[in-house]
Amino acid sequence: MIELDFIPADYHRRRLERRRWRRYGLLLALLVTVMCAWNYAQSEATHRIARQLAEVRRQHEQVRIHRAGLERLIAERDSLRGRQGVVRRLSRSVALDAVLAELSQLIPPSVTIRELSFDRWAATPAANAAHAGTATTRPAEGRRGGYLRLAGIAADESAVSDLTAALAGSPLFADVTAQPQADGGQSRRLAFEATCRIQRQEGIGP
């Protein structure tokens, strides 16, 4: 039996083209969907890595802060140990309570002491000038004891002179020197620093 097709050939051609374009459209939509999904996955991975990196940086900063605090505490501990050693060595040569009691009697009323420190080996200002460039200036052999440094303010130069004269006249102190210090112009009184050697007291220590 012979079948006759009365549909125009152009209709069949257009229908085939429409089918072909539909397939192309589906493939293109599938490709776009896959690309969008891949891009989303990559974006999420990038954000996750960025968050992890920020967390690592935050932890590193905390570790750095804790390490700096630990180093500061270690430095303070070493400083305290050094000061304890100075006090122990001084205690074998001088009685600190006697030194402080003597100072309380020698300081004139017109002088205010702001800072007081002890040191086993400390150079006087004159010795510093004579030994400029050296790391440490030690007292002469046979001079046992420590050094006392006083920093404060006085009414005028005569008050500083009275203090140095009183220290020099005491049997506990020797090599007394004093020099003015800059105070930044915040006070009309005279800022000064005095240094003296503490004489070793007989009968104290080995």
Stretch 62-76: mean pLDDT: 93
Q: Which among 132, 163, 161, 150 has a CA at the least distance from the CA of 197?
A: 150
CA angle, residues 86, 90, 96, in degrees to nearest 5: 115
Helices (H), 94-198: 96-106, 125-130, 157-169
Stretch 46-53: mean pLDDT: 92
Q: Global pTM?
A: 0.42
Name the residue ranges covered by the structural domains of the chain: 8-93, 95-198
CATH fit for domain 95-198, picks 2.30.110.10, 1.10.3720.10, 3.30.360.10, 3.30.1360.100: 3.30.1360.100
Question: CA 141, CA 138: separation in Å to the nearest integer?
Answer: 9
- Summarize pLDDT for 169-191 with one digit per residue, the tens: 988 888 899 888 765 555 567 89
